[in-house]
Amino acid sequence: MSFTLIDQGSENFEFRASVWNWKTLLEIVRSFDVISEGTLRQMSYNASGTPVSIDDAHLIGEKIRNEVLPKMGPGTRIFADLSITDKPDDGTLYQDEDEKWKNYSADYEWLSEFCEFCFKSKGFQVF
């Protein structure tokens, strides 16, 4: 499953996310407390068309740039529980309930690209 974010100002400006990245991103955004729980829940379903306003998109980008990326660094990634590791994703699919959280992470480079998308967008919709 994947998610496509479409800029509300231009249909040709898109950003793609895998479910593995997206679930982590939603937990990061949840920690900022800038978007309602209901909207976050809607954003967890692909093809929902859930809108994110320009102000919220820019605020999310700003918070990632100022609060998350400085704790990370190139070659690192953050898990959905907001812990950070420098171990690369080896593609293992964890099945054990106690380890499923390891399946969801976003690396520094992907978060940087998402941050730039947020700043350049006029808000976006989740598809």
What is the average pLDDT value for the chain, to the nearest integer? 96
Map out the domains of the chain as residue ranges. 2-126
* Mean of pLDDT values over 110-117: 98
* Mean of pLDDT values over 69-89: 96
pLDDT digits (tens, 9 = 90+) for 43-52: 999 899 999 9
Strands 50-52 and 14-18 turn out to be unpaired
Q: How far is the C-alpha of 3 from the C-alpha of 20, rounded, in Å?
A: 10
pLDDT-derived band at 12, boundaries 50, 70, 90: confident
